[in-house]
């Protein structure tokens, strides 16, 4: 099953980064964010029994392609280092849907939800002599975000509330590349 998910993630990555095929359809966006209290932090908290998680947070970068004004597909890459447990790297395809967009207003506000599901690679940092190493493709990475708010147009700030590899609270900045920019770059070739 992990091979199928990895193959799907690889295929979606190739599709997302082939601008010649998508240049006619819409805009692209890069979002860089930082989240706290990921599902790995919660798992570490409950497995150790202590009240303090040792995670410093979960940075993530996401590429999104606009199928329509309200629907995007993309690919997320998340990282989390928990010194008392291990390093988690998640690659997950993502789907977002905007349920409110004030695009005609002076300040554009978009409310949206997102879901992503992929694979997480794990590197064990607590390996004791004689223990089996359980590093490698370890688990399925997911993020369920029922509420996200994005304020801005081409350059925007966002905050998301959800559960998964990006964290319970995830926020950052996003830069949208207009369709005309993509057309100009490829018409010159």
pLDDT computed for residue 187 by the predictor:
45
Could you tell me which residues are beta bridge partners of residue 90?
Answer: 78, 120
Report, in angstroms and rounded to the nearest whole number, the Rg of the chain calculated over CA atoms. Answer: 18
pLDDT computed for residue 26 by the predictor:
72
Structural domains present in the chain = 2-187 (2.40.160.20)
Q: Tokens standing for 105?
A: 């207003």
Ramachandran area for residue 92 (φ above 0: left; ψ -120 to 50: alpha; else beta): beta
Strands (E), 37-168: 58-66, 71-82, 86-101, 109-124, 136-152, 155-164
| Cβ atoms of 164 and 186 closer than 8 Å | no
Residue 160 makes CB contacts below 8 A (sequence gap 6+) with 33, 35, 114, 145, 147, 148, 149, 166, 169, 170, 171
pLDDT computed for residue 129 by the predictor:
63
Rounded to 5 degrees, φ, ψ at 20 are -60, -35
pLDDT tens-place values along the chain, 189 residues long: 555 555 565 555 555 555 444 433 578 999 999 999 888 887 776 655 554 557 788 999 999 999 998 999 999 999 998 887 888 999 999 999 999 999 889 999 999 999 999 999 988 777 666 665 666 666 788 999 999 999 999 999 999 999 999 999 999 999 998 765 444 554 443
pLDDT computed for residue 146 by the predictor:
97
Tell if the pTM clears 0.85, that is, is over it: no
pLDDT computed for residue 118 by the predictor:
93
Q: Tokens standing for 107?
A: 């300040």
189 burial (CB, 10 Å; 0-12 / 13-18 / 19+) is: exposed
- DSSP reduced 3-state for 89: strand
């Amino acid at each position: 099953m992990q091979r199928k998910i990895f193959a799907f993630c690889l295929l979606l990555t190739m599709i997302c980064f082939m601008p010649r095929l998508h240049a006619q359809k819409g805009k692209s966006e890069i979002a860089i964010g930082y989240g706290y209290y990921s599902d790995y932090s919660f798992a570490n908290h409950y497995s150790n029994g202590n009240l303090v998680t040792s995670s410093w947070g979960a940075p993530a970068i996401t590429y999104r392609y606009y199928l329509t004004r309200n629907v995007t597909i993309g690919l997320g890459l998340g990282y989390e280092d928990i010194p008392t447990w291990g390093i988690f790297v998640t690659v997950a395809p993502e789907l977002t849907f905007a349920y409110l967009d004030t695009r005609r207003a002076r300040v554009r506000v978009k409310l949206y939800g997102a879901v992503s599901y992929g694979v997480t690679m794990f590197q064990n940092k607590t390996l004791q002599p004689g223990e089996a190493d359980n590093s490698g493709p370890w688990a399925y990475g997911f993020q369920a975000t029922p509420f996200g708010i994005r304020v801005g147009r081409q350059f925007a700030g966002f905050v998301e509330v959800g559960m998964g590899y990006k964290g319970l609270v995830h926020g950052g900045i996003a830069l949208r590349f207009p369709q005309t920019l993509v057309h100009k770059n490829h018409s010159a070739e």
